Amino acid sequence: MRYIWQHKNWPQFTWRSEPLLPLISQARLAQGKLLTKVASLGFQLSLYALADIFTEESFKTSAIEGERLNLESLRSSVARHLGLSIAGLPSVTRSVDGLVEVLLDATQNYDRPLTVARLKRWQAALFPTGQSGACSHSCMFDPSSPCSRP
């Protein structure tokens, strides 16, 4: 499997909408049903439901990368970022907090431009020591770089 930035036409993409439309419609319908249920919970319960969603998303995202983050640390970081009570929750490592910061920024600021500066902030949050084993941001945006080729 290749990363999106490894495709030969990165970052110019073409796609066929027809096969995607039924899937997008199903996702939007499910999203609408979920939003209706969450709205009926009230603000405070909605915030806790959101915290659970972000915690699970963070956990699954790290698992995709082969990393097993501490679920309680994730809960603590998400709660702190959302302004919820974190009494009794464990302290958080920088890697856990960085992942939560990136996921919250990506989902809560989805309408902001995805700039190189923003991607650099995400990379710094995810890899605070600079050691990721992945290509750096400069390499991803350089079509002549070995990282940008499949």
**What distance in Å separates the CA atoms of residue 84 and residue 91, rounded to the nearest whole number?**
15
Residue 50 has pLDDT above 70, yes or no: yes
Residue 56 has pLDDT above 90, yes or no: yes
Instruction: Determine the residue type at 108.
Output: Q
Percent of the chain surpassing pLDDT 70:
85
> What pLDDT digit, counting tens, does each position of 66-88 carry?
888 888 899 999 998 998 877 67
Smallest Cα–Cα separation from 90: which of 106, 76, 105? 76
Q: What is the pTM of this model?
A: 0.62
What residues contact residue 144 under an 8 Å CB cut-off, 6+ apart? none
> What pLDDT digit, counting tens, does each position of 11-20 carry?
888 888 999 9
